[in-house]
Structures are given as C-alpha cells and as structure tokens.
Amino acid sequence: MHYHRGNAYDYDRWDLDEWKSSTISKYFANLEKYLGKTATPFDVGTKGNMTLSYFKSDHFLRLPLSKMYKTAGYKPLARGKSLGYRDLLVTSWKSIRMNMARTFLTPIKERTNFHVALGTTATKILFTADKRVRGVEIMIGKYKKFIKVRKELILTGGSINNVKLLHMSGIGPKELLEYNHIPVVADLPVGKNFQMHLRVPIFVAIDKCCGQCLNCSTPDCQNDFFDFNEFYQNSWDYIMDKIGFFTHIGINDFVAYISTNQRRRDTANIGVFHTYFKRNDFYLKSFLEKRRFHPAVAASVLKYNKVRNIMLFYPTILAPVSRGEVYINSTHYLSQPVIKPNFYTDENGIDFRSMYAAVTMIVSLTDSLAMQRYKAKFLNIDIPNCRNFKFCSEYYFRCLIINLSSPTKKCGGVTRMGHSCHNSTVTDEEQKVLKVRGLRVSDVSLSPKVDSTNGLGLDALFAERLGDVLRHRWSKHYSSAYQKKKVAINVVEGEI
Ligand SMILES: Cc1cc2nc3c(=O)[nH]c(=O)nc-3n(C[C@H](O)[C@H](O)[C@H](O)COP(=O)(O)OP(=O)(O)OC[C@H]3O[C@@H](n4cnc5c(N)ncnc54)[C@H](O)[C@@H]3O)c2cc1C
C-alpha cells in the first residue's frame, strides 16, 4: 500500500553500473500512474499501470507532528533530498487497495499464453548435467508434476522461500547442501546477507481535544473514543459509497525520515512511522496481539488506552548494518526454513546506536510545544525485563530497545545481485543466477543492501527491468524504450 521509490543514495550505494539511480528512475516512471488531484513535489510517472495517489486524511496530528519535526530541524521532504517528513503515496484506485495481482495480472488474465496455477507449490528446480534449467517440480495438492522449461525460469518466491527452493534444488553453500545430503549444483552464498528492517514502538498518550478547544473539561473534549455505532456507520459508508473513515489510513501515511548517523548527517537512516488509537480503541488489542507483544506489555498499553488516546511512533532502521542468514531445516518441501536475523550484531554497534539515538530523540521531541498542546506524554509501559531500571534512564531505554524491537515485513539480500568478485553475490546485474544457466530471480531478495523502501516499489522495479532485459534477450526486433527515448518525466538527480 505505502509506495516509496527510495532515495538516490539507496541505489547508488549498491555500486552496480546498471542500477544507478539515474538509470532506474526511467523504469519507475514507466511503472507509475499518479492519479492525485494535486501536484506532487516528487518525480512520479503518469502513464504506467501502478495507480498511485495520496489518501490525505485530515488527521488532527498531521500538523503538530510536522511542527514537532520542524523543531528538530526537519522540513517537508523535498525532491532530491532524503531527510524530512512527507505523506507517502499509496497504491490505490478510487479508495480501493491495488495490490500487484490486481494491477498487473487482472488486466491480462484472459491471455491464452498466460496461466496461473493456484494452490501450487514449487518444490524443486531440476538441471541438466551441464547445469541448464530443465524444469520445475511442483505439488498440486498431493500430486507431483513436472513443468518443462524451454527458455528460462524466473524465481519470485520472496526472500525466505527463494532460499528454501534454491537450497532444495542444490544451489547454496556447499557445506550446508552436503550436510543435508543434497547434490550440489552450484556452490553459491544463497541465504547469506539477510537484512531486515527493525523497529521499536514508542507509546505516547495524547489528548486530542486539549489541543483544539483548550478547556479539557468540556464534554466536546471527551468525545475521541472508539464508538461501535460510528464503526458500523463507517463500514456502511465505505461498502456502499466508498466514502468516509475506511477510505484512508489516518496518520499512517505520514512518515519522517531522520538521520542519527553522525557520519552522514544528510542521509536518512531512520524512518519514523505513526499510528493513532482512540480512547478504548477496538483495534488496539488485535494490533498488539498480531505483533506478539509480551502479555504484560499489551495489558499495560490497553490499561492506558482505557483513559487516554495513544499515539504510536515507530522508528525503523532503514539500512541495517547487521547481517543474518536463512537456510533450510530439512529437505521436506513443507518444512519451515530457519531465519537467523542477527539483529543488532554488527561489529561496531551501529544499528543499536542509531536506534538508541532515534528513540531518545523522539521521546524528547514529545516535549516540544506543538506536542505539549496535546498533552503528549511518553508512557511508562510495563516491560517485565525493564522493571528494575529507572524510567527514562539510559539503561531503561537500552532495555526498552532490546525488549520491544520487532522486525517489519521488509527484508532482502539473500540472493544478492552484484559483482561476481563479491563473496555474497548470487546473481549478476541481469538478475541471472551465477554458475547455472536459464535461471533468474525477480523479487526483493535481490537487493544487495536493503534500502529505505524495500517493499512493493522495489519489487515492481526488479520485474520491470527484467522485462526489458528478457525482451532484449529473446525478441529479435525489440529495442528498449529505456535506452532510446527519454521519458516524459523530468528526472532530477537525487530523489528518484
Ligand atoms: C502485512 C504486510 C504489509 C506490507 N505493507 C507494505 C507497504 O505498505 N508498502 C510496501 O512497500 N511494502 C509492504 N510490505 C512488504 C511487501 O509486501 C514485500 O516487501 C513485497 O511483497 C516483497 O515482494 P516479493 O516479490 O519479494 O515477495 P512476495 O510478495 O512475498 O511474493 C512471493 C510469492 O511467491 C509465492 N511462493 C513462495 N514460495 C513458493 C513456492 N515454493 N511455490 C509457489 N509459490 C511460492 C508466495 O505465495 C508469494 O505469492 C508489506 C508486507 C506485509 C506482509
């Protein structure tokens, strides 16, 4: 849903000739279809398939949050810059969420040369003696089938399942494959270089009405609580007319990109996301449960929420330095692979220091004038392992970070694209798996260094670029639109 191209710095630090920010901006432009009514300060295409717009809810916290970040020296994010706050674009069309399947597959589903097999799991890639892809073995229910590959196989199983499938097919670290008695087809570091965005929740109590009517005791000031009648009305409005509360995501699309990196003050290393819960909010319980908070933490947050509205700040490490690993646990196709994220294990402690600086900065910013109008108060949540530390002391914050850090859903790096001389490289710049023939990867597992987006924007970029590469490779008369014509978008160096 959130859509962000990422920053020029994200791509330039990949250090790959074909993937410089100036080159790939054309692919982005070709993918995007901006449908917003107002002009956007960012470069965005208007002729592609991926429908983008702003939700722009008139959430009351948008202004105070902007003012809060201003006091820390941040401005609205400008073209070419990576620091600042902004409303994120979203992949939606007429208030309907547009996922990749709706965007790209639905329009072509009637094509006779296009087939989708539902409920099907690829279990193994098979190779000829000279290491060319021969086909893929699949399970449909309990039936095993073989699909022959004539030209190339493109793997898009995501950052975890790509590793599983490649390992089961004999592509991976030699020792691991031998340990699992899998014949080695190619000794490659598949599964190494695993990176994942990591975040920490900061719970802050807010009084909505104090900021708006100054006298907190008036009945008007007490009305920002969750109301089931309102909920049913909102659901009805959305289902019938696509209007109202469910047509946007509140303050969730407001994000601040900040830097806590002493050496690169001009580049964001932390993204701060925001969520808001009304007093006694029905959604908060399931929110806490889904994220598997410790029961004591969840109970404490819910207790506060009985009487206070809660604002959640989510500082997130955008470019983690720590590296983890994914590998198979057994050779059965249904077994879960092992994910060892190794959070906060980088040699110089950069990830932890970045997060510590971000958390303490946000807590101190809640004391800013803009937030104090809303009686913002950093909540002393009951974290069992931190009970012995003085609230807001250095050790308390350290403890909070260690106990409440949780991964986001954005990860990558396991089939790293890069130069063959690099010891964690799995694919070349044309997304081709090294040491075998006829196999490519096209999803976020390719990203050499996880970046500030690492989500659906990047996923679409890999697919768009591979489309161009494949047409070049297999179509005699194809000439790339990217190489010849200049797209109608004015691409400015920097923000891409
Ligand atoms: C709840 C949630 C919310 C998110 N919100 C955002 C957001 O707002 N913005 C954003 O940019 N990103 C968001 N993300 C992250 C984003 O969805 C991922 O980064 C992106 O989808 C990764 O794309 P991918 O192609 O690498 O993998 P996936 O999208 O995971 O695609 C892999 C596909 O392969 C299939 N598959 C796997 N193994 C096999 C097999 N053996 N056989 C057959 N099929 C197989 C899977 O079923 C899946 O369909 C979110 C993720 C989650 C989970």
Please report, rounded to a whole number, the percentage of residues in the chain having pLDDT higher than 90. 64
pLDDT band per the 50, 70, 90 thresholds, residue 222: low
Q: Which tokens sit at 445?
A: 């597992």
How high is the pLDDT of residue 221? 54
Is the C-beta atom of 207 inside 6 A of ligand 1? no
Write 206-211 long-range contacts (CB < 8 A, 24+): 206/61, 206/276, 206/308, 206/309, 206/310, 206/311, 206/374, 206/375, 206/376, 207/308, 207/309, 207/374, 207/375, 208/60, 208/309, 208/374, 210/373, 210/374, 210/375, 211/60, 211/64, 211/373, 211/374
Is the C-beta atom of 433 inside 6 A of ligand 1? no
pLDDT band per the 50, 70, 90 thresholds, residue 486: very low
Mean pLDDT, residues 443-467 taken together: 89
Atom number, ligand 1, closest to the C-alpha of residue 164: 41
Give the bridge partners for 122, in sequence order. 138
Compute, in degrees rounded to 10, the torsion defined by CA atoms 97, 98, 101, 103.
160
Which one, of 92, 318, 35, 374, lies nearest residue 195 by Cα? 318
pLDDT at 214 over 70: no
Q: Which tokens sit at 277?
A: 């819960």
Closest CA to ligand 1's atom 16:
455
What is the gyration radius of the CA atoms in the chain, in angstroms? Answer: 24
Is the C-beta atom of 156 inside 6 A of ligand 1? yes
How high is the pLDDT of residue 422? 87
The predicted model scores a pTM of 0.90
Least confident of 205-219, 288-302, 372-386: 205-219
pLDDT at 216 over 60: no
Mutate to test the pocket of ligand 1, among 102, 161, 163, 287 (most ligand atoms within 8 A of CB): 161
CA distance 268 to 290: 28
**Structural domain harbouring 366:** 197-322+344-404
Is the C-beta atom of 157 inside 6 A of ligand 1? yes
Residue 451 located in a structural domain = no
Which one, of 12, 30, 13, lies nearest residue 21 by Cα? 12
pLDDT at 64 over 70: yes
Encode burial over 456-470: b for 16+ CB neighbours within 10 A, e otherwise.
bbbbbbbbbbbebbb
pLDDT digit string (tens) for 236-282?
888 888 888 888 888 989 999 999 987 777 889 999 999 999 998 98
pLDDT at 327 over 80: yes
Encode burial over 197-208: b for 16+ CB neighbours within 10 A, e otherwise.
bbbbbbbbbbbb
Q: Which tokens sit at 57?
A: 């809810």
Mutate to test the pocket of ligand 1, among 252, 443, 447, 450 (most ligand atoms within 8 A of CB): 443
Choose between 57 and 429: higher pLDDT: 429
pLDDT at 194 over 60: yes
Is the C-beta atom of 280 inside 6 A of ligand 1? no
Total domains present in the chain: 1
Encode burial over 149-183: b for 16+ CB neighbours within 10 A, e otherwise.
beebbebbbbbbbbbbbbbbbbbbbeebbeeeebe
Angle 62-71/350-365 helices, nearest 10 degrees? 120
Compute, in degrees rounded to 10, the torsion defined by CA atoms 21, 271, 163, 175.
100
- According to DSSP, the β-strands at 186-187 and 171-172 are parallel
Is the C-beta atom of 271 inside 6 A of ligand 1? no
CA of 347 to the centre of ligand 1 (A): 30
Residue 26 located in a structural domain = no
Is the C-beta atom of 189 inside 6 A of ligand 1? no
Residues in the chain: 496
pLDDT at 23 over 80: yes
Is the C-beta atom of 1 inside 6 A of ligand 1? yes
CA distance 18 to 449: 15
Residue 216 located in a structural domain = yes
Residue 156 located in a structural domain = no
- Which residue shows structure tokens 């086909």? 135
Residue type, 164: K
Residue 10 located in a structural domain = no
Is the C-beta atom of 400 inside 6 A of ligand 1? no
pLDDT at 43 over 90: no
pLDDT band per the 50, 70, 90 thresholds, residue 232: confident
CA of 157 to the centre of ligand 1 (A): 8
pLDDT at 495 over 70: no
pLDDT at 161 over 50: yes
Residue type, 130: D
pLDDT at 483 over 70: no
CA distance 71 to 373: 14
CA of 414 to the centre of ligand 1 (A): 14
How high is the pLDDT of residue 494? 43
Residue 292 located in a structural domain = yes
Least confident of 33-42, 248-257, 291-300, 434-443: 33-42
How high is the pLDDT of residue 234? 83
Residue 256 located in a structural domain = yes
Given a contact cutoff of 8 angstroms between Cβ atoms, the answer to whether 374 and 251 are in contact is no
Q: What is the CATH number of the domain that holds 214?
A: 3.30.410
Q: What backbone phi and psi angles, to 5 degrees, belong to 80? A: 85, -5
Residue 103 located in a structural domain = no
Given a contact cutoff of 8 angstroms between Cβ atoms, the answer to whether 465 and 440 are in contact is no
